[in-house]
Amino acid sequence: MPVGGAPAGPLVLGLEQPIDEGFGGRWLSDASNRLDLPTAGPLPIGSGGCIPPPSLMSTDLRFVTAKGWRSAYEAGVRTVMDLRNPDEIRPTPGQGLTSQGGSAAFPAESTRTPLPPEIKRLEVPLDDVEDLEFWKDINHRRLNGTPLYFRPFLEHKTERCAAVITALAQSDPGGVLFHCGAGRDRTGLVSLLLLSLAEVDAEAIAEDYALSTSALRPLFTAMGQDDQGPMIESLLADHGLTPRDSVLDVLKDLDVQAYLRKAGVTEEDLTRLRAQLLN
């Protein structure tokens, strides 16, 4: 997802150098670092200055090649964090909790090319998919798959947001690549929190999120599925919103540092994460 909502695949935190051609067939050979943000340029922050433009663009991890993983390692990636539910990662007999809650998901499939042994893989599921009633309500109201679900999730699932942010802050030295299924919703929500923590301007986060629609088309084509972009834009239009507007609505009263502190993220971890984002 692009920044505030859905990069075309994973997002990377803390790179030392750009990742070269071969990572999933998409790349950006720009001598910048810190975040994978598929944007047209640097992201302005409220205190002045900016976060540099992206050092990596990638497709879904299913399509990353051995050359791509090696390039990721050489660029500084040391951790891959998977935000998906267990039944999205490994096939589950019968109907998994994700589908029981009414959420759509790509078929469970392992990464086709193994990670280099030097890169650690972590599973930190964001959804709290065991709360079936929450997800049935979100899907009944047709909020899932759009930023419309961000507000209720942030309100009701503070502990899951804190768990992911804490895991990112406490990860081993080196770049951290985190991802979900398509990279629009869970990766997008975590990205929104991170970029807000870095004090990136709300307009820049929202504008970048709006790039998600075009950025994800190649993924849906590769997976043999219909592009979800038109359906999502139609759902948002029913609420009188665009993708950009829906992200701005989430950000307008979000004090991310206060939110994360209350959710249980320590001051030490917040400081460490801000340094990774901005230093």
Instruction: Give the tens place of pLDDT for each residue, 163-218.
Output: 999 999 999 988 888 888 888 889 889 989 998 998 989 998 888 787 777 777 77
pLDDT band at 61 (very low <50, low <70, confident <90, very high): confident
CA distance 36 to 20: 13
pLDDT tens digit string along 124-162? 999 999 999 999 999 999 999 999 999 999 999 999 999
Distances (CA, A) of 270 to 15, 127, 209: 19, 22, 23
Two structure tokens written together for 131:
């709360």
H helices, E strands: number in the chain:
14, 6
Give the percent of the chain with pLDDT over 70. Answer: 77
- Collect all residues with Cβ–Cβ distance below 8 Å to 238 and sequence separation of at least 6: none
Q: How many CB atoms lie within 10 A of CB 81?
A: 24
CA distance 32 to 214: 23
Q: What is the average pLDDT across 39-60?
A: 54
- Collect all residues with Cβ–Cβ distance below 8 Å to 155 and sequence separation of at least 6: none
* Distance in angstroms between the alpha carbons of the first and the last residue of the chain: 23
CA distance 177 to 13: 6
Mean pLDDT of the chain: 80
For 87, phi and psi rounded to 5 degrees? -75, -5
Concatenate the DSSP letters of all residues of 209-274 into one string.
HTTHHHHTHHHHHHTT---SHHHHHHHHHHTT--HHHHHHHHHTT--HHHHHHHHT--HHHHHHHH
Q: Residues 121, 72: contact at Cβ < 8 Å?
A: no
21 against 225, higher pLDDT: 225
pLDDT computed for residue 182 by the predictor: 80
Whether 1 has a pLDDT exceeding 90, the answer reads: no
CA distance 178 to 221: 22
pLDDT tens digit string along 89-127? 988 888 899 999 999 887 776 666 888 999 999 999 999
pTM: 0.84
CA distance 230 to 213: 8
Two structure tokens written together for 142:
């047709």
Distances (CA, A) of 176 to 107, 136, 156, 169, 224: 25, 32, 26, 10, 29
CA distance 192 to 210: 13
pLDDT computed for residue 230 by the predictor: 86
Give the percent of the chain with pLDDT over 90. Answer: 43
